[in-house]
Amino acid sequence: MNSIKINITIPEANLKEIEEFCSEEGVTRSWLIREATSTYITEIKEKKELERKRKEMEWAAKASKELRDKGSGFKDGKKGAQIIREFRDKE
């Protein structure tokens, strides 16, 4: 993996916290920043995916309800499942 040097500006308090952590854990600032950004990006992507799935499930639940509601419009007020059972039982 190729590495590229970058310059960043952060508040002095953050740098002090980073340096203390790195000293205690025996890791470099570069390693910590790489790991932190990688973890952060992964978490954001996972949250977005969960939100996408939640929206899809809400849509599916709404669509299912709409279909169920439409299914009660048969003659005699019967539901679609009732009509299917009656038809099946005739055979």
33 Cβ contact list (under 8 Å, min separation 6): 18
Instruction: Return per-residue pLDDT of the chain as tens, 91 residues.
Output: 788 999 999 999 999 999 999 999 999 999 999 999 999 999 999 999 999 999 999 999 999 888 777 765 666 777 777 878 888 888 6
The torsion angles phi and psi of 4, rounded to 5 degrees, stand at: -125, 135
Tell me how far the alpha carbon of residue 36 is from its chain's centroid: 20
Tokens of 67: 């279909």
DSSP 33-82: HHHHHHHHHHHHHHHHHHHHHHHHHHHHHHHHHHHHHHTT-SGGG--HHH
Global pTM reads 0.63
